Chains A and B, each alone.
Chain A
Amino acid sequence: MKEKRKKKQLGELGVFAVMVIIFVIMSIASPVFLKANNLINIVRQTVEIGIMAIGMTFLIIAGELDLSIGSLFATTAMFGGYLFKYEIVPPTAVFFLTLLLGILMGCVNGLLVTRVKIPSFIVTLGTMKIYRSFAYAIGDGQSIGQFPESASKSWVWSLGAKINGIPVQIFVMLALFIIAHILLKKTTYGYQVYATGGNPRAAHLSGINIKNVRLIAFAIMGFLCAVAALVSTAYLGTVTTTSGAGREMDAIAAVILGGAALSGGRGTILGTFLGAIIMATVKNGMVLLSVPVFWQDGFIGVVVILAVLVDTLFHKNDSER
């Protein structure tokens, strides 16, 4: 009995250990790595994937998946960008409209999955394509940049700014991680998410509305994509139709690195945070070591498979009783 408990803790520690190992190797290999500026840079580079991975954590624990988030990100970014650029409504209104659009698009995914009963993989594969077309359509195939002062001088742009050299977006991300952690661990909704993914039948028989639990997770996902889109717009000062492409896989990778099970029921926000940090660290490290850029994705692939392999070994006994 005791042994099993230890194993579970090890699973959480596993991600942390991987991160520490990467940090140690990097700090030996590169003198610049441990400098404050570089560390801040790593966290900054975590923001976009990190925020989206939060939503993916809810979905994966609930036993679902969302492949459309890269496109959803692009659509909300283009939508917000268009409104900012042509000053159709005040920036604050753009901010909230963009978030609303994200939630709506997440709900479309969620409704198709829970009410029309199409598997999430297929629904979001479809909406990945559809939402991408929306992103192109909004800008007529063109990127949007050179925003007017009404936008760039507004409070929304402070999301991309720095305070005492620390990017504001880091605080946004950390706040979201903390809220998500509380939501998942301390509320009845989080409890229901774990139960729904762990055993939908048992959860349903326990009086949990598993359809709504999943629908809300999709809505959260859409909301977080929109947040990431706004942060990115403010930071880069430009939005492109192709932005976010491939982000869905990065987010899934971060969640899986963090110890979640694709079959549902298992995963933590802390794990996802560490997973996202690992991904950014690996990318950062490879740049510092001047590894050719085309090796980056390959190396991250290796890390993901290794991490899951280690996790599988830890959880080997779980399914045997």
Chain B
Amino acid sequence: MAAVIEFKNITKRFGGTVALNDVSFSIEKGEIHCLCGENGAGKSTLINLCGGVFTPTEGQILVNGREENINTIRKSEKLGFSIVHQEVPLCLNMSVAHNIFLGSAEATKGWFLNEKHMSEKTRELLDMFRLHVEPTTLLGSLSIAEQSIVQIAKAVYFKPDILILDEPTAALTNDQREVMFEVVRKLVKEHGTTVLYVSHRLEEVMMLGDRLTVLKDGKYVTTRNVSDVTMDEIVTLMVGRKIEKTEWDRSYVTNEELLTVKNLCNGKKFQNISFSLHRGEILGLAGFVGAGRTEVLSSIFGADKLDSGEVYVKGERVNIRSPKDAIRKKISMIPENRRDDGLVTSMSIRQNAQLAVMDRISSKGFLSESKSVSLMEEMINKYSIKVGGMNDMILTLSGGNQQKVVIAKWIGNDPEILLCDEPTRGIDVGAKSEVYTILKDIASHGIGILMVSSELPELINLCDRIIVMHEGRITGEIMREEATEELITRYAAAI
């Protein structure tokens, strides 16, 4: 068999972070090749290299034996790639048929749209996926699952040579998944399409795949025949690392319950979430992307609505309806997405750092320049933020220092409960360890920290206890002593 795609010594760096490190493997014609790895293992980066979104820093990609420079999305399409991304890049304001034929020559006949052809073909396609909607239905009126099926259908219709599916089943039911697998297998058989399948659901890998490749921390681990491995073995390969827990021996956990939640529910996002956070404790919230961790955090903080459930702060029932309420109860949240939720990019470092502590830098509504400057100096020293000048624009800082500003902003608020969502996302190793020091330090001062993280070593190193979520439910609770990556991954995958 000939290799359709061959990755040769691929390295991809983003600034200081290495997303892929010397990865080499090949995918053969007509196979369904699965890509496994934890969050941050480099799977998405690899896909984006195929899609022409990024180009490799080093190394070559060979397509059908020829070295290709895939530097645009168009180039990728020309080479026969078709990629179904996690997010649905379709137009919600257009009909299903128009979405499927968007950008295709088949959509038109002369100067006019060929509505008849589009709707006939769309109907056939939808029947194949057993999706009972009219071709003229607006995409926006479909459920997320249906939308993702339309996206897959669109990719399948044009019979690509290489089909890449990135977590396509995240929103699908088991039945819908079966149908999709059927269609994909048929495509492979009849058209000789090669499939690269990315999913963190290992049972799907076992069901669908011919071979699998495991990536870990941006490095290539191994390629195996699916028939030769068990799910347990895959987990071990994905994790395959001993974590030293020596870094933080001391725990500051007390018996006092700072935050208790009971039976929190929010639609399909999460159900029956109950736990308590103690004073001085760092409680981790683990799980795969989409498990509902972020939603739990933002619901507690009042940024997302709760359908039902009770929240207690220091034993007292509270009703938090907005972030403002949460802040009044001494709860702070370091949001997941620094750029979208954490920072006002049109403002300076100082203005960003003090957005949540306005009371401390003003009296009777008037800002005090001197209070503000001295508070900022205090923040810069305490969290060793490296700045040129405190009035520089926030975006002049590196990612790590931006994150420290966000953390300083929220700790400056003097919280008793700190919610943090991926506090070290997108920052380099040095800055990460500084963030760990800061978090450990504030826990030692009697603050309770609830931390969502996708980086298992980080959770294992830092947390006194870890709660694991899978598809909106808590599937496990692990004490610090028994925490291993393998155990967390098992709970997260619910196997």
Q: Is the CB of B347 within 8 A of A195?
A: yes
Minimum CB distance partner of A61 in chain B: B346
Interface check B362, CB cutoff 8 A = yes
Distance, CA A208 to CA B396, complexed state (A):
25
Minimum CB distance partner of B303 in chain A: A205
Knowing A187-B367, A194-B344, A201-B341 are in contact, say whether A206-B392 is a contact too (CB < 8 A).
Answer: no
8 Å CB contact of A205 from B341, B389, B393, B395: B341
Q: Is the CB of B366 within 8 A of A208?
A: no
Q: Is the CB of A198 within 8 A of B346?
A: yes
Distance, CA A194 to CA B347, complexed state (A):
8
8 Å CB contact of A204 from B323, B345, B347: B323
Known: A199-B343, A207-B326. 12 other contacts (CB 8 A): A1-B392, A1-B396, A5-B389, A5-B392, A186-B366, A191-B355, A198-B344, A203-B344, A205-B341, A206-B409, A208-B324, A318-B393
Q: List 17 A-B pairs, Cβ < 8 Å.
A: A4-B396, A186-B366, A188-B367, A189-B365, A194-B346, A194-B347, A202-B340, A202-B344, A202-B355, A203-B344, A204-B303, A204-B322, A205-B323, A205-B341, A206-B356, A206-B409, A207-B323
Interface check A2, CB cutoff 8 A = yes
Interface check B42, CB cutoff 8 A = no
Complex interface bits, A261-298 against B, C-beta within 8 A gives 1, otherwise 0: 10011100000000000000000000000000000000
Distance, CA A188 to CA B326, complexed state (A):
20
Contacts of A2 in B (CB 8 A): 388
Distance, CA A74 to CA B367, complexed state (A):
36
Q: Is the CB of B341 within 8 A of A198?
A: no
Q: Which 10 A-B pairs have the closest CB atoms?
A: A265-B346, A198-B344, A198-B346, A207-B327, A1-B388, A199-B344, A206-B356, A206-B355, A207-B324, A1-B396
Q: Is the CB of B367 within 8 A of A265?
A: no
Distance, CA A203 to CA B356, complexed state (A):
8
Minimum CB distance partner of B327 in chain A: A207
Interface check B333, CB cutoff 8 A = yes
Complex interface bits, B322-353 against A, C-beta within 8 A gives 1, otherwise 0: 11101100000101000011111111000100
Interface check A129, CB cutoff 8 A = no
Q: Is the CB of B345 within 8 A of A4?
A: no
Distance, CA A191 to CA B365, complexed state (A):
10
Interface check B62, CB cutoff 8 A = no
Contacts of A186 in B (CB 8 A): 366-367
Q: Is the CB of B323 within 8 A of A206?
A: yes
Q: Is the CB of A187 within 8 A of B323?
A: no
Contacts of A35 in B (CB 8 A): none
Distance, CA A209 to CA B341, complexed state (A):
15
Interface check A8, CB cutoff 8 A = yes
Q: How many residues of A contact B (CB 8 A)?
A: 32
Distance, CA A194 to CA B342, complexed state (A):
15
Knowing A5-B392, A207-B327 are in contact, say whether A202-B343 is a contact too (CB < 8 A).
Answer: yes
Minimum CB distance partner of B397 in chain A: A1
Interface check B358, CB cutoff 8 A = yes
Q: Is the CB of A8 within 8 A of B393?
A: yes
Distance, CA A190 to CA B344, complexed state (A):
14
Q: Is the CB of A195 within 8 A of B355?
A: yes
Contacts of B392 in A (CB 8 A): 1, 4-5
Distance, CA A181 to CA B456, complexed state (A):
50
Interface check A115, CB cutoff 8 A = no
Contacts of A316 in B (CB 8 A): none
Instruction: List B448-462 residues whose CB lies under 8 Å from chain A.
Output: none
Complex interface bits, A170-188 against B, C-beta within 8 A gives 1, otherwise 0: 0000000000000000111
Minimum CB distance partner of A182 in chain B: B366
Q: Is the CB of B342 within 8 A of A202?
A: yes
Q: Is the CB of B358 within 8 A of A188?
A: yes
Contacts of B367 in A (CB 8 A): 186-188, 190-191
Minimum CB distance partner of B372 in chain A: A191
Contacts of A204 in B (CB 8 A): 303, 322-323
Minimum CB distance partner of A3 in chain B: B396
Q: Is the CB of A198 within 8 A of B345?
A: yes
Contacts of B335 in A (CB 8 A): 202, 205
Distance, CA A155 to CA B62, complexed state (A):
85
Distance, CA A4 to CA B346, complexed state (A):
12
Contacts of B351 in A (CB 8 A): 191, 194-195
Distance, CA A202 to CA B394, complexed state (A):
14
Contacts of B340 in A (CB 8 A): 199, 201-202
Q: Is the CB of A318 within 8 A of B395?
A: yes
Distance, CA A204 to CA B323, complexed state (A):
7
Distance, CA A305 to CA B434, complexed state (A):
47
Knowing A188-B367, A265-B346 are in contact, say whether A205-B333 is a contact too (CB < 8 A).
Answer: yes
Distance, CA A203 to CA B409, complexed state (A):
12
Distance, CA A197 to CA B323, complexed state (A):
18
Contacts of B323 in A (CB 8 A): 204-207
Give the distance to chain A from B340, nearest Cβ to Cβ, in Å.
6
Complex interface bits, B219-256 against A, C-beta within 8 A gives 1, otherwise 0: 00000000000000000000000000000000000000
Distance, CA A197 to CA B351, complexed state (A):
14
Q: Is the CB of B344 within 8 A of A265?
A: yes
Distance, CA A206 to CA B392, complexed state (A):
21
Contacts of A266 in B (CB 8 A): 346
Complex interface bits, A1-36 against B, C-beta within 8 A gives 1, otherwise 0: 110110010000000000000000000000000000
Q: Is the CB of A187 within 8 A of B365?
A: yes
Give the distance to chain B from A265, nearest Cβ to Cβ, in Å.
4
Give the distance to chain B from A307, nearest Cβ to Cβ, in Å.
19
Distance, CA A202 to CA B365, complexed state (A):
21
Contacts of B303 in A (CB 8 A): 204-205
Q: Is the CB of A202 within 8 A of B346?
A: no
Contacts of B366 in A (CB 8 A): 186-188
Contacts of A199 in B (CB 8 A): 340, 343-346
8 Å CB contact of B358 from A5, A191, A205, A318: A191
Distance, CA A223 to CA B55, complexed state (A):
55
Minimum CB distance partner of A190 in chain B: B367
Distance, CA A136 to CA B366, complexed state (A):
42
Contacts of B324 in A (CB 8 A): 207-209
Minimum CB distance partner of A2 in chain B: B388
Contacts of B362 in A (CB 8 A): 187-188
Distance, CA A198 to CA B343, complexed state (A):
9
Contacts of B322 in A (CB 8 A): 204, 207, 209
Distance, CA A190 to CA B347, complexed state (A):
13
Give the distance to chain B from A224, nearest Cβ to Cβ, in Å.
20
Complex interface bits, A204-219 against B, C-beta within 8 A gives 1, otherwise 0: 1111110000000000
Distance, CA A138 to CA B343, complexed state (A):
48
Q: Is the CB of B344 within 8 A of A195?
A: yes
Minimum CB distance partner of A199 in chain B: B344
Contacts of B389 in A (CB 8 A): 5
Distance, CA A187 to CA B362, complexed state (A):
8
Distance, CA A203 to CA B395, complexed state (A):
17
Knowing A194-B344, A198-B347, A266-B346 are in contact, say whether A203-B355 is a contact too (CB < 8 A).
Answer: yes
Distance, CA A199 to CA B355, complexed state (A):
12
Minimum CB distance partner of A204 in chain B: B323
Give the distance to chain B from A36, nearest Cβ to Cβ, in Å.
37
Distance, CA A205 to CA B332, complexed state (A):
9
Give the distance to chain A from B447, nearest Cβ to Cβ, in Å.
18
Contacts of A265 in B (CB 8 A): 344, 346-347
Distance, CA A297 to CA B36, complexed state (A):
63
Most chain B beta-carbon contacts within 10 A, residue among A8, A186, A190, A198: A198
